[in-house]
Amino acid sequence: MAAVEVDAKAHWITKADIDTVDFNRIYRFFVIFSPVDGLSSRQKSFSDYGWDTPWRKPFSLRRQLNGLSNNNELIFSAHKYDNMDGELIKADLVEFPPINIMKERVCIYNGQRTQYLSVFFHIRNALAHGRFNIVEGTFIMEDVTAKRKWMAAGSKTCSARMVIRTATLINWIDLIEGGARELETNKI
């Protein structure tokens, strides 16, 4: 297992066909008003949206966010950079940009309190640093951090790769901005 070396210049990035209404809403939520502590002076916390205990029952925000994706196994999480290569293999995100952009998936270094806070952290970085493309209504994003000593000059360490539909990002924003609501369960 090893950290994953990527080109610092990200030659895979091309001009993105940006729908300004959706893109502006996504950028504002994840970059300017990021719910992740310490990323923005204009941060809006989950409690600002009415989510005082979002990750606990009866709200289970994680399960609600998962339910808005087209993949039941959305998040692949490494707790060490040295485990990213294995998680990228599981997520089918070794080749980047990926060929399959129909299936949503996220592979992250999990450095926050919850996996979704880590996902939001990496989305923020990918957008803020321009490491994304938008292809057929799908965001293809990558986040990086400083290179390791053994890596070549001009490279970085991969900390996240993500394939998420624009509609999913908008649905996540709608869910959070709509305020706390209990997880709907099918009781038979």
Note the pLDDT tens digit of each residue in 77-107: 999 999 999 999 999 999 999 999 999 999 9
- The pLDDT of residue 4 is above 80: yes
Dump strand ranges (E) for 34-154.
75-78, 105-109, 132-135, 138-145
Q: d(Cα 154, Cα 152) in Å, to the nearest integer?
A: 6
Q: Which of 144, 148, 131 is nearest to 82 (CA)?
A: 148
Q: 85: phi > 0 → left, psi -120 to 50 → alpha, else beta; which? A: alpha
For the stretch 104-123, pLDDT in tens is: 999 999 999 999 999 999 99
Instruction: Look at the block and give the residue holding tokens 């939520």.
Output: 29
pLDDT at 188: 47
Is the per-residue pLDDT at 186 higher than 70?
Answer: no
Query: pLDDT tens digit string along 21-80?
Result: 999 999 999 999 999 999 999 999 999 999 999 999 999 999 999 999 999 899 999 999
Strand, helix or coil for residue 100:
coil
